[in-house]
Amino acid sequence: MKSHILIVDDDPHIRNVISIALRQAGMQTSEAGDGTEGLAKAGSGRFDLIVLDLGLPEMDGLQVCRTLRVSDQTPVLFLTARDDEIDRVLGFELGGDDYVTKPFSPRELVARIKAILKRSGAGPVNTNGQGVLQTGSLAIDPARHRCLVNGAPVALTAREMGILNHLMMRPDQVVPRPSLTDAVYGVYVHVSDRTVDSHLRNLRAKLADAGCVDAIETIHGVGIRMGPCRSA
């Protein structure tokens, strides 16, 4: 089945360029010209990823993402003419999965979208071949993008699932931050420490709210590892 991408941008030329590039890559596309229309279409639940312009009129991309994340964890790639780190970090804290600055290369945009889709829907499985990783009260099924704490679902973004999957594949190992960053964000993608910290903070908060307060441990000066994931 073709991946279905929603493109939300107020510039019809940019929507057309993105749509052509994605269709040539074998994907299906739909378009929206403003935040209100984008939210209405996103609410249908038919999309695998949303390309979201940050500088939309009336309701900007951050507002759209904030509203969307109340009930929807569809991966979001921000597209913007601004290159302010504060905007990038805030976008990640709201649940964005990646960030591309205009002007952009359609080829790079397609590559980033493919990478997000791979992380969100077809992650690696554990060594026993069952596809489900479990530590204490926490269990994930990366291929189905499912996370459970004590059997209750926890909604994660693609980046958060990528971090969790990478750590759970390496129980009892301390993963250096550069290795974690390369595995989750890509070797050739520059990601600031603040961005990684934002995703780790969001992930810890979601798991703690679900009752798993010690899921991820920071070993200062060394790296990150999975905790025992005891029930709160």
User: What mean pLDDT, rounded, does the chain reach?
Assistant: 84
pLDDT digits (tens, 9 = 90+) for 61-92: 889 988 988 777 788 999 887 666 556 666 77
pLDDT of residue 230: 77
What's the Cα-to-Cα distance from 6 to each of 38, 58, 118, rounded to whole Å?
8, 19, 17
Cα→Cα distances 95→30, 50, 91, 200, 205, Å: 21, 12, 7, 11, 13
* pLDDT score at 30: 95
Q: Are 172 and 225 in contact (CB under 8 A)?
A: yes
Residues of the chain with pLDDT under 50: 122-130
Q: How far apart are CA 35 and CA 199, in angstroms?
A: 24
Give CA separation, 209 vs 149, 152, 215, in Å. Answer: 10, 11, 11
- pLDDT value, residue 222: 87
The confidence score (pLDDT) of residue 120 equals 64
Which one, of 50, 120, 137, lies nearest residue 91 by Cα?
50
Identity at 90, one-letter amino acid code: L
What pLDDT score was predicted for residue 86?
56
Q: What is the pLDDT of residue 124?
A: 34
Q: How high is the pLDDT of residue 34?
A: 94
Question: Which residue(s) pair with 175 in the sheet?
Answer: 224
